[in-house]
Amino acid sequence: MVATEIDFYSHREGPNPWKNVILFEELGIPYKATYLTFGGASGGVEHEDFLKKNPAGRVPWIKDPATGIELTESNLISEYLAEKYDKKGIFAVEGEQNKLLVKQWLGFQAASQGPFFAQALVAKHILKYEDSAKHFQGLVKRTITTVDRALRGKEYLVGNKITLADLSYIPWDLTLDTILMGDSEAATAEERKKLWPNWYSWHNRVLQRPAVQKALVIQKKVQGTE
Ligand SMILES: N[C@@H](CCC(=O)N[C@@H](CS)C(=O)NCC(=O)O)C(=O)O
């Protein structure tokens, strides 16, 4: 049982905190969201008030009043939430190999998918450096190719069942129309379906989970795009 709401620092648009919202919905964990802005103004991720919580100046960040635990890094937060509050074992896997594989794919998400997708977005839409955009879009496609290969003959990344690893890819994968805009071979969902059929089916399978759908409704509401 969660005694009280988890204190959750988030951002309206940034994809990383939305991985945790999916988990809050999956596990029925009550939370109170505070939405920060980017930058150093009052209420910003780089304002000294927030830097005291997270020296990296990034969201998500949580404090769980039930345990006193404070944490940043979205995938670590998801692991913590599952460890404490997944009493039915919805996301549990059997055996050391599978447990490590969940960590492996969470690591790949945090070290490849998140950073490459984010840099492609910045290069293409903020800096508008076409050469850099092409470079990072290439890395985005390589990331998806890796996941597609891993999913050959499988419905989920690990242990033939849904795990935290699968859920962690959803928020960034939903930005692909923007991130791969202008790409010669993977700009549209139809093209991505042809290039990466395993990845495409898996993405849609995970997307259909009621908790994921609920998180997306909350996201639209928060972003004012419903
Ligand atoms: N690896 C971190 C990345 C966190 C991250 O980059 N968060 C973005 C929002 S999606 C952020 O706070 N950016 C603010 C900044 O970079 O100044 C995680 O998964 O939590």
Write the DSSP symbol of residue 109: I
Query: Among 20, 58, 61, 62, which residue has the most ligand 1 atoms within 8 Å of its CB, making it the best to mutate?
Result: 58
10 Cα: distance to centroid of ligand 1 (angstroms) = 9
171 touches ligand 1 (CB under 6 Å): no
CATH 1.20.1050.10 maps onto the chain at: 96-212
Q: Is the CB of 114 under 6 A from ligand 1?
A: yes
CATH class given for the domain over 96-212:
mainly alpha
Q: Give the predicted TM-score (pTM) of the model.
A: 0.97
Instruction: Please tell me the predicted confidence (pLDDT) of residue 2.
Output: 52
* Among protein residues, the one whose CA lies closest to atom 14 of ligand 1: 58
pLDDT of amino acid 226 = 83
CA of 60 to the centre of ligand 1 (A): 7
136-154 burial code (b ≥16 CB/10 A, e <16): bbebbbebbebbbebbeee
In short, whether 23's Cβ falls inside 6 Å of ligand 1 is no
Choose among 113, 110, 126, 226: nearest CA to 173: 113
CB-ligand 1 contact for 60 (6 Å cutoff)? yes
What stretches in the chain show pLDDT beneath 50? none
Q: Taking a C-beta distance cutoff of 8 angstroms, is the pair 158, 93 a contact?
A: yes
pLDDT of 47 reads 98
Exposure string of 164-203, with b = 16+ CB inside 10 Å and e = fewer, is bbbbbbbbbbbbbeebbeebeebbeeeebeeebebbbebb
Q: Is the CB of 35 under 6 A from ligand 1?
A: no
Cα Rg, the chain, nearest whole Å = 18
pLDDT reported for residue 133: 98
Ligand 1 close to Cβ of residue 36 (< 6 A): no
Q: How far is the CA of 152 from the centre of ligand 1 (A)?
A: 30
- The C-alpha atoms of residue 219 and residue 2 are separated, in whole angstroms, by 23
Q: Quick one: pLDDT at residue 143? A: 98
Closest ligand 1 atom to residue 74 Cα is 20
How far is ligand 1, taken at its centre, from the CA of residue 16, in Å? Answer: 6
Nearest CA to ligand 1 atom 16: 58
Give CATH 3.40.30.10 domain extents, the chain.
6-90
CA distances (Å), origin 189, targets 40, 98, 148, 201? 36, 31, 15, 12
Report how far ligand 1's centroid is from the alpha carbon of 56 (Å). 9
7 Cβ below 6 A of ligand 1: no
Classified as helix, coil or strand, 4 is: coil
CATH topology of domain 6-90: Glutaredoxin (3.40.30)
Instruction: State in Å: Cα 178 to ligand 1 middle.
Output: 18
